[in-house]
Amino acid sequence: MTARSRSRRADTSPPVQLTFLGGLGEIGRNMATIEIDGRIAVVDVGVLFPDAEHLGVDLILPDWSWLDARSDDVECIFLTHGHLDHIGALPYLIRTLDRSLPVYGTQLTIAFCKAVLEEWPQLPTPDYRQIEPGDVVDQGPFNAEAVQVSHSIPDGVAYAFRTPHGMIVHTGDFKLDQSPIDGRPTDLAHFARLGDEGIDLLLADSTGADVPGHVPPERTVGDQIRKHVMDAEGLIVVASFASHVHRIQQVLDAAVAVGRRPVFVGRSMVRNMAIAEELGYLDFDASIAVEPKDVERYDRRELIVVSTGSQGEPFSALSLMGAGEHRMLDVGEGDLVILASSLIPGNEQAVFRSINNLSRRGCKVIHKGVSPVHVSGHASRDDLILFHNILEPEYVIPVHGEHRHMRAHADIALMTGCLEEHVLICEDGNSIYLEDGHVTRGPSVPTSHVYIDGLLDDVGPALLRDRRRIGEDGICVCIVTVDTHARERAGDTIVTQKGVVFEDNADDILEAARKAVDRELDGLAAAKYEDLQAVQRHVVQALGRYWKSQTGRRPFILPVVQDV
């Protein structure tokens, strides 16, 4: 295939600027902005879930600090689908902008946003604008056409933005499933029409780019689940993502086929399935569902538990069942557990711990490693090759993926005919200009990870370092009172610890530590007592030396030096 070129009329308006705030170089916190004539549209506003290294962090957000100063210029938000890595940061962005603004999305996406925002009653309510595939939105200088895509959550869309300088297509997350459960495939004919019109810049999901072959249809998972369910003789538990409506639909179909009643457990599962059922995305007779508190009234062989916890999350329903600590459900010999889910990198240990616990209790555990009970929600290599050949974009920027995924995706773009200088690998914080059909790199914006713990977003690298040190080495607190006027120690020194040495053995060690501090302070020149910070430094030095020499440990030392 030869490189494509097309003529276009010259436009004198300023170039269109695209800025990537998250999701490029990582799986999660997807967010980009498009700026036209000084107005800004946001595409997706997702969160990233923390790893074990992010001690105490609940969520990680994109860094949109540069938007703060321009918050009046933000015109609207376009959402591709209802996964939290695309909508989960919406309340935080609204808190930053502190006003209502138009939020475009499909019915289910908006319903999931509303569920997220329910926990933030004090925030301005977004001006939700429900769209359907094929709709064309005109909002300020933005013209966006929604294109139907299939994914691991229903109701996903891509957007085609027609700008004064060319067409940008942003796929969001997608796969090419052509026989999806809801009969709503990725609309390749629609993409082909856009391709004929001329796609100047394609931003496409890279998550599956290094996986060979095509993603099998979601239906194949249903066949597998039904087979396992047919053979089961005890209680059945199926764990999956709480947003994977089609996966759950197939579990429910299998349940009905063998005459079992579903029991939904896990907060997000119960909430999402209620939303999906109410809006008609889940097709089943809700009256057959059994409440967890009523399971005692049924024979185990009459039930199928649909649960959260497929990623080994420690307090999820499945983990609690594995640990024998679930309040209403116990599993054991003869029961079947199916993890109908992916294994997100980083969660391996937790998932295998959960599988081992369930196995130890006597459950038979089926997961994607032993049976094809999961298919990906993201187009794989051969799917992407086909997709690029249909769209024939002039420029390509791989999005949504770690660097290796974006790299593999860039190779696909080259292979399908893009010029080498027309394939750009960008990362979080990068921006590009689109001018008269040509893409060039723009300036970068700040790109740190914003860590949310509780209500605050003040967690930075320094705080994480402190938490890591306290977590690994324990903490020793020393309280010293001095009289800065009299230039002397006043009152007894107190030394206490947590997590450094075993509590029962601590008394003698702490007494010796206290003496080491007093010795150090008694040796100071009187003038030093006027300077509280100098006293602090000496406390830290004395305690550091003491712990190291007596125990070989290096606790986090917190000196509290007060003036009388």
Binding stretches for Zn ion (CB under 5 A): 83, 85, 173
520-541 residues labelled b (16+ CB within 10 A) or e (exposed): bbeebeeeebeeeeebbebbbe
Count, residues in the chain: 564
Closest CB 276 distance from Zn ion, rounded Å: 16
Closest CB 271 distance from Zn ion, rounded Å: 18
Shortest spacing between CB 206 and Zn ion, in angstroms: 11
Q: Which of 430, 422, 408 is nearest to 22 (CA)?
A: 430
Q: DSSP for 209-268?
A: TTS-SPPPPTHHHHHHHHHHHHH--S-EEEE--TT-HHHHHHHHHHHHHTTPEEEEESHH
Nearest-approach distance from CB 31 to Zn ion, in angstroms:
11
User: What's the CA gap between 89 and 59, in Å, rounded?
Assistant: 9
Expressed in percent and rounded to 5, the helix, strand and coil fractions of the chain are 35, 25, 40
Min CB(152)–Zn ion separation in Å: 6
Question: Closest CB to Zn ion among 33 and 207?
Answer: 207
Q: In DSSP terms, which residues pair with 495 in a beta bridge?
A: 478
On whether the CB atoms of residues 98 and 124 are closer than 8 A, the answer is: yes
Nearer to Zn ion, 46 or 292 (CB): 46
CB of 156 to Zn ion, least distance (A): 7
Q: Of 28 and 234, which CB lies nearer to Zn ion in the complex structure?
A: 28
Torsion-angle region of 166 (φ positive above 0: left; ψ -120 to 50: alpha; else: beta): left
Q: Smaller CB distance to Zn ion: residue 63 or 173?
A: 173
Nearer Cβ to Zn ion, position 172 or 393? Answer: 172
State which residue, 27 or 225, has the beta carbon closest to Zn ion.
27
Q: Minimal distance in Å, beta carbon 82 to Zn ion?
A: 8
d(CA 136, CA 161) in angstroms, rounded, equals 9
Whichever of 85 and 383 has its CB closer to Zn ion, that residue is: 85
Nearer to Zn ion, 84 or 237 (CB): 84
User: Of 18 and 79, which CB lies nearer to Zn ion in the complex structure?
Assistant: 79
**Are 59 and 50 in contact, with CB atoms under 8 Å apart?**
yes
Q: CA angle, corner 185, sides to 182 and 186, nearest 5? A: 145
Say how many C-beta atoms besides its own lie within 10 A of residue 447's C-beta: 19
Q: How far is the CB of 86 from Zn ion (least distance, A)?
A: 6
Q: Specify the amino acid at residue 158.
A: A
Residue 556 CB burial class (10 angstroms; 0-12, 13-18, ≥19): buried
Least distance from C-beta 151 to Zn ion, angstroms? 5
